[in-house]
Amino acid sequence: MTNPTARRVTANIAITLDGRYHGPGGPADMGAIVGYATTEVARDHLTRIWEGATTALLGRVHAEGFLGYWPTVAADENADPRDRGYAKWLVDTEKVVLSTTLTEAPWERARVVDAPVADVVAELKATGEGDILANTSPTVIKALLAADLVDRLYLLICPEIAGGGQRLFDDGLPGSRWKVAHQEIGELGEIAVIYDRIR
């Protein structure tokens, strides 16, 4: 029988100094983040994110958006090997897409689930192995944080203040303590940090 506590729930996202995952112009306003996403430190961080993960947990918006981009990177022999490694992992791995509106999965090796994230994670923990990665999907990560289900948090902290836009850490989250498992500072001042939940 699989140990239900053996699977870690991990989450990956880039945020600004003021804790925002996009700017005041809405989800497409990524100006304070995009310039740091392809640095050496960010690309090395990307590899650490997926290495232990066997399931990607995605919201609908990111599942559909990623589909338009990452498969082409996986097939591009000239792409950075770290980007390509991540892209191949994303294409090949099990993907669970949380959505109330999709009727069929937008990816191969994907399934759509219309259920609370806590229930989905409980089922995944009971039936598989490897990390469950909530991958850059803010609505999924926020729900996991609200339920105190995140065991490891991968953050790329970009040294800009967006001044508006959606914040990752909303008021009302349960209090929690974290320890630094890894950190690296890039030439542009970006910080790749891994936090592990202290329970």
**3 domain residue, yes or no:** no
What value does the mean pLDDT take over residues 144-172? 97
Contacting residues for 76 by C-beta, under 8 A, at least 6 apart: 84
CATH code for the domain in which residue 134 is found: 3.40.430.10
What pTM does this model have? 0.92
- Strand ranges (E), the chain: 9-16, 53-59, 94-98, 110-113, 131-135, 152-158, 177-185, 191-198
Question: pLDDT value at position 105?
Answer: 85
Contacting residues for 123 by C-beta, under 8 A, at least 6 apart: none
What value does the mean pLDDT take over residues 123-152? 94
Question: pLDDT value at position 63?
Answer: 87
The domain containing residue 123 runs over which residues?
Answer: 9-198
For the chain, what's the residue count?
199
Question: pLDDT value at position 2?
Answer: 46
**142 domain residue, yes or no:** yes
Token output for 135: 């991958």
**4 domain residue, yes or no:** no
Question: pLDDT value at position 46?
Answer: 93
What value does the mean pLDDT take over residues 150-166? 97
Q: Is the pLDDT of residue 132 over 80?
A: yes
Question: pLDDT value at position 107?
Answer: 83
pLDDT tier at 4, thresholds 50, 70, 90: very low
Number of domains in the chain: 1
Give the bridge partners for 112, in sequence order.
97
Residue pLDDT, tens place only, 53-68: 999 999 988 888 888 8
Residue pLDDT, tens place only, 66-109: 888 888 999 999 999 999 999 999 999 999 999 999 888 888 89
Q: In 10 A of CB 143, how many CB atoms? A: 19
> What proportion of the chain, given as a percentage, has pLDDT over 70?
97
**2 domain residue, yes or no:** no
Q: Is the pLDDT of residue 35 over 50?
A: yes
pLDDT tier at 5, thresholds 50, 70, 90: low
Question: pLDDT value at position 1?
Answer: 44
Q: In 10 A of CB 192, how many CB atoms? A: 25
Q: Which residue has the higher pLDDT, 105 or 44?
A: 44
